[in-house]
Structure 1
Amino acid sequence: MSSSPIAGSRAGWLTLFLLAFPPLSWAGNAIVGHLAAGAVPPITLNFLRWLLAGLLLTPLAWNGVREHAAALRRHAGLILALGVLSIASYNALQYLALTTSTPINVTLIGASMPLFLLAVGVTFFREPATRSHIAGALLCLVGVTFVLVRGELGRLAQLDFVPGDLFMLAATLAWSGYTWLLRKQRPALPLIVLLYAQIVAGVVVSVPFVAWELGIDGQAIVWSTKTVGILAYVATVPSLLAYFAWDRAVARAGAQLPVFFVTLTPAFAAILSTLLLGEWPNWYHGVGLAAIVAGIWVAQRR
């Protein structure tokens, strides 16, 4: 009998679903964020997403928050940093990116996370880098660069990138910092309590930026059935359901295998973009994805 975590059994199929659901929902988040352009301003969309997610999570997390109140106060500064980098920065920058870039581009750039993780780890956390890590990161860099220049290498000299692509690069850098901070200094708190605390911190920090977007910048929410559907989706599927599915998938399959499933996000985004937006992927998307997947494989292999 096979000992693989995704062997052909009922438990294996459940594990496979748990592994595939997060990248599918994150690809859907990119599509919905793109559809939200013009209906909900990007920073406001991120604020409402996590405000609603936090409210939904409150009944499940509140007893744990009260039980661990002392630890939450002791780690307040760290939790604030985690909330800023993940909830307030990464997600808001992603929605900003989707106002001018495509879901395929955004998810492909996000798939280059190993490159940014390596750079942040070496620069700020003195994490050693092996030759495999460096080779994999360089392959990821080639893939991302190919997507950024749309397959036209002449653009490298002009640095003529779409603003959304640069926003997504900043988002990926922020998530890399969050990942290392969580890995090196994670507070000893239950998952649901830590997630809830990060959501609260990120929502509070986002308030002045939302006020600027809706007040000074003059953007507004266009309320409609579409808007309500967008908010319902982003507050539940990519926020809460995908997060807990990912946690269970890692518990069942280990830490290595899920990394490869994350690379399905651009593929899912390409399929959903074609079906829902009529945006067909271009040849350079395939080249970029192949380089990124190859880079992750090289960096992860033992």
Structure 2
Amino acid sequence: REKFGALRSTGFVVVIAGLLLLITKGDLSALTSLRFSKGDLLMAGGAFLFSFYTVLLKLKNPGIRSGSILLFTFLAGTIMLLPFWGVEMYYYEPEMHFDGKTLGQIAYIGIGASLLSYYCWNNAVELIGSTNTSAVYNLLPLFSAIAAAVFLGEKLLPVQAISGIVILAGLLLITRVRKPSRSPSPAA
């Protein structure tokens, strides 16, 4: 069981403040005019379910290997998605061209964005705990802003750099590990 003390709580508040700075580009008044679409609510639901999945990983029997958990997760997900795939095939008859580009995209989604990412996530939860793993996940918006600057030529704003520093400061508070104090050993 992971302890969630004042330091970690403060760290999460700092991370959320940094994320809000990043998302609003420093204009926190933008939060008052937020409108949520169905897609936003679906994404929020997905994020909640993923956090639930992460907590469940810590409850697994230590005798069950990570690969078995991964196989079961993918199998259950496939079974749940099959009816939706059937409806799409029946009503929409999507046109699919199996060329090199399509096969590359399928391989990326199937191997990179699914198999490898879940394998790494599951192992991270096992190694550093669900709290620390979830905290590091908050770097995703920051990395997205940096990737947009590098690959899409987007301008990186000073407020994005500041929010990145705030997010990193919060992560340091969350992931800071205190060593238990040792009692002096009795003299022999």
Determine whether 1:210 maps to 2:96: no
Instruction: In structure 2, give the amino acid aligned to 1:152.
Output: D
Determine whether 1:255 maps to 2:109: no
CA distance in 1, matches of 2:63, 2:43: 31
TM (norm. structure 1) is 0.45
- Cα distance change of structure 1 residues 229 and 290 upon mapping to structure 2, 3 Å threshold: same
Instruction: In structure 1, give the amino acid aligned to 2:57.
Output: L
- Cα distance change of structure 1 residues 255 and 280 upon mapping to structure 2, 3 Å threshold: same
Counterpart in 2 of 1:179?
A: 54
Instruction: In structure 1, give the amino acid aligned to 2:166.
Output: A
Q: How does 1:1-302 map to 2 (within 5 A)?
A: 129-160=4-35, 167-186=42-61, 188-212=63-87, 218=92, 220=94, 223=97, 225-244=100-119, 255=128, 259=133, 265-266=140-141, 268-301=143-176, 302=178
Cα drift, residue 199 of structure 1: 0.6
C-alpha RMSD of matched pairs (Å): 3.8
279-288 or 196-205, which moves further after superposition? 279-288
Instruction: In structure 1, give the amino acid aligned to 2:64.
Output: L
- Cα distance change of structure 1 residues 298 and 265 upon mapping to structure 2, 3 Å threshold: same
CA distance in 1, matches of 2:93, 2:105: 18
Cα drift, residue 200 of structure 1: 0.4
Identity %: 28
- Cα distance change of structure 1 residues 158 and 244 upon mapping to structure 2, 3 Å threshold: closer
Question: How far does the alpha carbon of each residue in 1:27-64 deviate from its partner, in whole angstroms, 9 at most, with x for none?
Answer: xxxxxxxxxxxxxxxxxxxxxxxxxxxxxxxxxxxxxx
- Cα distance change of structure 1 residues 203 and 250 upon mapping to structure 2, 3 Å threshold: closer
Unpaired runs of at least 5, structure 1: 1-124
Cα drift, residue 239 of structure 1: 2.7
Larger Rg: 2
Question: How far does the alpha carbon of each residue in 1:247-266 deviate from its partner, in whole angstroms, 9 at most, with x for none?
Answer: 77889xx527x858766655
- Cα distance change of structure 1 residues 152 and 221 upon mapping to structure 2, 3 Å threshold: farther
> Which protein has the bigger helix share?
1
CA distance in 1, matches of 2:20, 2:152: 24
Q: Which has the higher contact order (CA 8 A, sep 6+)?
A: 2
CA distance in 2, matches of 1:219, 1:154: 45
How many residue pairs were aligned?
173
- Cα distance change of structure 1 residues 177 and 227 upon mapping to structure 2, 3 Å threshold: same
CA distance in 2, matches of 1:144, 1:166: 18
- Cα distance change of structure 1 residues 179 and 261 upon mapping to structure 2, 3 Å threshold: closer
Cα drift, residue 186 of structure 1: 4.3
TM (norm. structure 2) is 0.67
CA distance in 1, matches of 2:35, 2:157: 19
CA distance in 1, matches of 2:120, 2:141: 19
Unpaired runs of at least 5, structure 2: 179-188
CA distance in 1, matches of 2:136, 2:9: 21
Contact 2:58 2:125 in 1 (8 A): no
- Cα distance change of structure 1 residues 204 and 142 upon mapping to structure 2, 3 Å threshold: same
